[in-house]
Amino acid sequence: MRWMAVWRRNMLVWRKLLAASVLTNLADPLIMLFGLGYGLGALMPSIEGMSYIMFFAAGQLCTATMFTASFESMFSGFSRMHGQKTWDAILYAPLVIDDVVAGEIMWAASKAWLTGSTILGVVLVFGLAESPLLALLALPAAFLVGLAFSAVGLIMTVLARGWDFFSFYMTLVMTPMMMISGVFFPAERLPAPMLAVAQALPLYHGVELVRPLIAGRLPEASALHLAVLLGYAAAGYFLAIRFARKRFAE
Amino acid sequence: MNALTVKGLRKSYGAAQVVSGVDLAVAPGECFGLLGPNGAGKTTTLKLCLGLIEPDAGEIELLGEPVPRRAREARARVGVVPQFDNLDPDFTVAENLRVFGRYFGMRRREVEARVPGLLEFAGLAGRGEAKISTLSGGMKRRLTLARALVNDPQLIFMDEPTTGLDPQARHLIWERLRRLTQEGKTLVLTTHFMEEAERLCQRLAIMDHGRIIAQGSPRALVAQHIEPQVVEVHGNGYEAWMERARTLAPRVERAGDTVFVYAGDIDPVLKALAGEKELAYLHRQASLEDVFLKLTGRDLRD
């Protein structure tokens, strides 16, 4: 549990910059949710038996969680590792690079979870969930989405030689993933090969878990969705540690 | 038992051997200096001693713990002052100390009890709530030193502790380091300031191209490696005079437009210079810097 000291360091900084942090992490997704949800939603009758805003809420919850996790683990993480040399300082203490990686991933996942759960709170307050009790099950799901993207994001961080590196991942991976993972429209409408790609990626499985919970029923094939998210988290964790060890052995 | 023992240490990056067979022994309570030009392998040696990187060969024992195998246990009792400050810019002065203490698994109260003393040591009493960006270079350096003491270490590694500081700030750091040795702490520092090494260190090792090329007390190194008297000569006709000096002194060196004449008996040289109107000269005792330049050469290192 030595990584807790790293997690705690990041939490203390976040607490100092709370207002700006909460604004950027929450205002954007909520504006999107209500803007698109009500605006676009007004043009559509219903989608999979629910209002468009209810449909979109699940997608937006997962997407915002993904973005918070990715930004924190990549941009903030890289700044701590590369710019501020905070990781170097931590390594003078009886901590090793594995502890730092674990602390960073857990922190980014925690921050992402806060984004996801606040959006869920708004969804509940606006009565966009059929069964508030079932919808609460989206809380652990949001944490898993955060964990998966934090771990994958940190791989990018420990491989990055400069800031540009993240643009490739954002533009070539995250944005297309958001389009095909059933965030804005049902993924099943996609051509089969594209759906297959979506199903190989974590965001789709997050949405598949959260959407039914907001619609008031238990998700089907939840074991599969959980397994994929956990798999990305675990693989990301081990690869990030491996690449970080290599980077810090120089 | 030694505070630090290093035997046959080697480390290569690709084809470049950065540390090639280093042996060191640092006694408890000693201030030990590792001297060398840029790129000599000093920083890599420190990193190896801390267990931050793995050696290709050799043995390291730090405070009784084998490194890198038990580096974590060793680091719990060690402090580090890196070459470049890496204070946490997101925190205040006092928060930097508190957060760093938590990395050592210290309890909140334990750290809190140490903060006022550390701030005093850093000359930053009353500045605990200041932001890092408002500190001067000297203040940052002192805070980095105080941070390295948060876990009350037995041994402190310092990588060029006063590089980039003005003389006032440097003297204050030196005073603090002497205070630490008086408290019985072991200091291992790298430097390329001879004055710093001469003032602070009981024992020195001069390192170049990954090897220790001389070891001993500052005085012993001067006595052993260099003639005790030096005359530095420059001015019109110094080249011609250089030839003459070679007949008067055992060692004559040139760097740019200055001739360095080293001798045990310097009188013949001074007499010869008395008649030269065009030449300016300076007679002084040989110092560690002369030893250093003799052993590592006068060529520029990048």
- What is the full DSSP assignment across B162-177? TTT--HHHHHHHHHHH
Instruction: With H, G, I as helix, E, B as strand and everything else as coil, classify residue A33.
Output: helix
Residues of A in contact with B132 (CB under 8 A): none
Cα A162 vs. chain centroid, distance in angstroms?
A: 22
Contact B88 A86 (CB under 8 A): yes
Dump pLDDT digits (tens) for A20-44. 888 877 888 889 889 888 888 888 8
Q: How far apart are the first and last CA of chain B?
A: 38
Contact A92 B50 (CB under 8 A): yes
Element (H, E) at B260: strand B258-263
Contact A250 B76 (CB under 8 A): no
Q: Name residues whose C-beta falls within 8 Å of residue B18's C-beta, 6 or more positions apart in sequence.
A: B11, B12, B41, B44, B210
Residues of B in contact with A21 (CB under 8 A): none
Dump pLDDT digits (tens) for B113-131. 999 999 999 999 999 999 9
Contact B88 A85 (CB under 8 A): no
Using CA coordinates, name the residue in chain A closest to B74: A94
Contact A90 B103 (CB under 8 A): yes
Grade residue A7 by pLDDT with cuts at 50, 70 and 90.
very high
Q: A89 and chain B: CB distance < 8 Å anywhere?
A: yes
CA distance A52 to A6: 41
Instruction: With H, G, I as helix, E, B as strand and everything else as coil, classify residue B193.
Output: coil
Dump pLDDT digits (tens) for A122-167. 999 999 999 999 999 999 999 999 999 999 999 999 999 999 999 9
The CATH code of domain B4-223 reads 3.40.50.300
Contact B91 A88 (CB under 8 A): no
Is the N-terminal amide bond of B68 cis, ω within 30° of 0?
yes
For residue B282, CA distances in Å to B166, B232, B234, B276 come to 26, 5, 9, 13
Dump pLDDT digits (tens) for A220-246. 999 999 999 999 999 999 999 999 999
Contact B86 A88 (CB under 8 A): yes
Dump pLDDT digits (tens) for A45-94. 788 889 999 999 999 999 999 999 999 999 999 999 999 999 999 999 99
Q: How far is B155 from chain A (nearest CA, A)?
A: 13
Residues of chain B with pLDDT below 70 are 302
Residues of A in contact with B91 (CB under 8 A): 12-13
Question: In this predicted structure, what is the pLDDT of residue A11?
Answer: 96
Number of compact structural domains in chain A: 1
Question: In this predicted structure, what is the pLDDT of residue A43?
Answer: 87
Question: In this predicted structure, what is the pLDDT of residue B302?
Answer: 62
Contact B99 A9 (CB under 8 A): yes
Using CA coordinates, name the residue in chain B closest to A246: B53
Q: A189 and chain B: CB distance < 8 Å anywhere?
A: no
Q: Which of A84, A94, A249 shows the shortest C-beta gap to B104?
A: A94
Question: In this predicted structure, what is the pLDDT of residue B239?
Answer: 86
Question: In this predicted structure, what is the pLDDT of residue A209?
Answer: 97
Q: Which of A8, A85, A91 shows the shortest C-beta gap to B52?
A: A91
Q: Which domain holds residue A209?
A: 3-248
Structure ipTM: 0.89
How many Cβ atoms sit within 10 Å of the Cβ of residue B245? Answer: 22
C-alpha dihedral (B249, B251, B253, B257), degrees to nearest 10:
-10
Contact B99 A12 (CB under 8 A): yes
Q: How far is A60 from chain B (nearest CA, A)?
A: 31
Using CA coordinates, name the residue in chain A closest to B106: A5
- For an interface test with B, the pick among A86, A90, A92 (most B C-beta atoms closer than 10 Å) comes out as A92
CA distance B168 to B206: 26
Q: How far is A170 from chain B (nearest CA, A)?
A: 26
Q: Name residues whose C-beta falls within 8 Å of residue A114's C-beta, 6 or more positions apart in sequence.
A: A25, A68
- The DSSP output letter for A91 is T
Contact B88 A89 (CB under 8 A): yes
- Domains of chain B, by residue range, sit at 4-223, 227-285
Asked if residues B150 and B118 have their Cβ atoms less than 8 Å apart, the reply is: yes
pTM given for the model: 0.92
Asked if residues B158 and B170 have their Cβ atoms less than 8 Å apart, the reply is: no
Dump pLDDT digits (tens) for A190-207. 999 999 999 999 999 999
